Amino acid sequence: MKEAIVDPDLNVSIHDTALPVPEPGQVLIRVVVSGTNPKDWKMPRLFAKTPSNSGDDIAGYVESVGDGVVSFRKGEKVAAFHQMMTSGGSFAEYAIAWEHTTFRIPEKTSFEEAATLPLAAMTAALGLYQILGLPLPWSPTSAPQPLVIYGGATAVGAFALKFAQLSNIHPLIVVAGRGSDFVETLIDRSKGDTIIDYREGDQVVQTKIKSAAAGKPIHLAFDAVSEKGSYQNLCASLTAPGKITVLLPPAEDYQIPEGMNIERTYVGSVHNSPAAGKTIEDREFGAAMFSLIERGLAQGWFSGHPYEVRPGGLGGLQGALRDLEAGKASAVKYVVRIAETAGVQ
């Protein structure tokens, strides 16, 4: 099969490799579309610093299943979240996922839309519900609950907004920039939701966050940016005791203000790896949320993120990853169709 490998300089090379074999509890998927995420360039360049197939968002057909898998059978249309930093990633003709991180794609949902969902939607769900402890979609709140979402036009931020709406969490105070028009479609102004443009500067952002809840204290925030002053602005804006969940750990030299708690949302915790953190709790939560997403897609009350198909299949990955690094993606996810790759039959 064809497999794309990303090196630390973000050069992408395509190789012929053997098909992965699913272990017990795993699903082998013939990939139709792979999604991309900012971590796909950050992992090889900044963290692992070794060449790898760093793709994790899979949409395709079940090819085979490992021992013990009972929920899926060959030929089913599925999407899945590949276990990060393991072999069998989505930048290939075939990829591996665990049964509990795989869900069916309704016929009316395209592979392209489905490929925008797994990593970003699950990150949003973990942050809102497992870290911040907000009411779940099947038990929505009836009381006002101010929540700041920093980076509302990012895929994670947008999915956090969608889940928050399902949980009836308002007012939503959303920090965004170029993608503000898109964010406007995800909020409810009649319930006090508002958008703050981060391009107005840190002091303006802090002032507007404080005043956005109409006098109510703001204790919770989801930071889907986690850099460029985002959590610093939140710490300066929330009312103690405040809790902020971030996607990247704060800088080592940053002194977290008294009364503020910053906790990282690590989406890898939904996998089976003992190093992933709260393995059992988050694994079962992940399985439940992917089932909810599947139902939401089928019934029309949940949807994926806007996407842009990058031409050339796996051959288009290098340009996509470099554009992600350059910050060009706003209110959009880049996806690739594997069949467009040179040499794929």
Fold type of domain 121-265? Rossmann fold (3.40.50)
Q: Coil, helix or strand for 45?
A: helix
Q: What order do you get walking across the sheet with 172-176 strand by strand?
A: 194-197, 172-176, 147-150, 220-223, 242-246, 260-264
pLDDT (tens digit per residue) in 3-17: 999 999 999 999 999
In whole angstroms, what is the distance from residue 251 CA to residue 312 CA?
37
Which range (39-48, 77-86, 218-227, 255-264) has the least confidence?
39-48
Question: Taking residues 105-116, what's their average pLDDT?
Answer: 97
- pLDDT for the residue numbered 276: 45
Buried b (16+ CB within 10 A) or exposed e, 181-204: ebbeebbeeeebbebbebeeeeee
Gyration radius of the chain's alpha carbons: 20
- pLDDT for the residue numbered 279: 64
- pLDDT for the residue numbered 278: 56
HSE-CB of 27 using CA atoms within 13 angstroms: 32
Residue 267 confidence (pLDDT) above 90: yes
Tokens standing for residue 327: 């910050």
Residue 277 confidence (pLDDT) above 70: no
**Model confidence band, residue 112 (pLDDT cutoffs 50, 70, 90):** very high
Which range (226-235, 257-266, 275-284) has the least confidence?
275-284
Q: Which residue shows structure tokens 């590949």?
A: 82
Question: Taking residues 205-224, what's their average pLDDT?
Answer: 95
Buried b (16+ CB within 10 A) or exposed e, 215-240: eeebbbbbbbbbeeebbbbbbbbbee
Q: Give start-end residues of each CATH 3.40.50.720 domain in the chain.
A: 121-265
Tokens standing for residue 329: 């993606």
Question: Taking residues 77-93, what's their average pLDDT?
Answer: 97
Residue 246 confidence (pLDDT) above 80: yes
Q: Coil, helix or strand for 91?
A: coil
Nearest to 304 by CA among 154, 122, 113: 113
Q: Work out the mean pLDDT of the chain and round it to a whole number.
A: 95
- pLDDT for the residue numbered 239: 96
pLDDT (tens digit per residue) in 312-343: 999 999 999 999 999 999 899 999 999 999 98
Against a cut of 0.85, is the pTM above it? yes
**Model confidence band, residue 274 (pLDDT cutoffs 50, 70, 90):** very low
In the 8-state DSSP scheme, what is residue 343?
A: T
pLDDT (tens digit per residue) in 24-81: 999 999 999 999 999 999 988 888 788 999 999 999 999 999 999 999 999 999 999 9
Question: Taking residues 202-210, what's their average pLDDT?
Answer: 97
Q: What is the DSSP string of 104-141?
A: EPPTTS-HHHHTTSHHHHHHHHIIIIIIS-PPPTTS--
Distant-in-sequence, close-in-space partners of 118: CB < 8 Å, separation ≥ 6: 35, 56, 57, 58, 79, 80, 81, 101, 290
CATH superfamily of 2-117+305-340: Medium-chain alcohol dehydrogenases, catalytic domain (3.90.180.10)
In whole angstroms, what is the distance from residue 329 CA to residue 325 CA?
9
In whole angstroms, what is the distance from residue 221 CA to residue 131 CA?
11
Q: What is the DSSP string of 179-245?
A: THHHHHTT--GGGT-EEEEGGG-HHHHHHHHHHHTTT----EEEESS-STTHHHHHHHHSPSSEEEE
Strands 333-337 and 307-309: parallel
Q: Give start-end residues of each CATH 3.90.180.10 domain in the chain.
A: 2-117+305-340
- pLDDT for the residue numbered 114: 98
In whole angstroms, what is the distance from residue 278 CA to residue 160 CA?
21
- pLDDT for the residue numbered 2: 98
In whole angstroms, what is the distance from residue 4 CA to residue 93 CA?
9
Contact 33, 60 (CB under 8 A): yes
Question: Taking residues 271-293, what's their average pLDDT?
Answer: 79
Tokens standing for residue 241: 């005791």
